[in-house]
Structure 1
């Protein structure tokens, strides 16, 4: 390769891998649910054509971080502590893995799986316009 090719390839190689909401098929739902090292709840979900990230205190309901985008750097979608495998969307996890991003899973819990199986959202969602946390729990149709 020549220097121009080398420069272009090197620049492309240094770009962080991304994921688009358009790549995630299916209904609005939880994609990743877990927690951070400071015990904040970490909820990544698909809603209205965007991937949302809400980080909140599960006890007080205080939102620490909220963003909704159509394209994300995959590293930004993973908490620094653990995720509950029962609350991770398999298709989404595969997309992350295809881009070199691993999820820090807890051990699988059958009881927890029974409690969340079929729920659209495994944690609260956030409405930035109203500042309201919505406590879901509806079953998928």
Structure 2
């Protein structure tokens, strides 16, 4: 089974190119919201969070992105570390998630990473899911 699908989260359709926007893309895709709305949410979280700025062209601080997801009612699920075992996209349960990898967040839908580059082989530390 293929575990990657190219998806820019609507970035190009909204007129944005070559931006460091993994957080915005992941949020737009996983939360099923417009790219511009996801960008606005991330900017607001950055303005009042760790970054203290709305300038997100070079990325969003992890703490600020997590705050943005919490504001949408999402909860973090930490993946326990087991020596010799790593969790990848294929190992996640079915559903819509924002997976946390080293220096990267990516939308995962039913065990398929939705992003602009294939990161399905990377180790997942934990994931954000909608609260029920």
On whether the aligned pair clears a TM of 0.5, the verdict is no
Structure 2 length-normalised TM: 0.26
Larger Rg: 1
Higher-RCO chain (CA-CA 8 Å, sequence separation at least 6)? 2
Structure 1 length-normalised TM: 0.25
Between structures 1 and 2, the one with greater strand share: 1
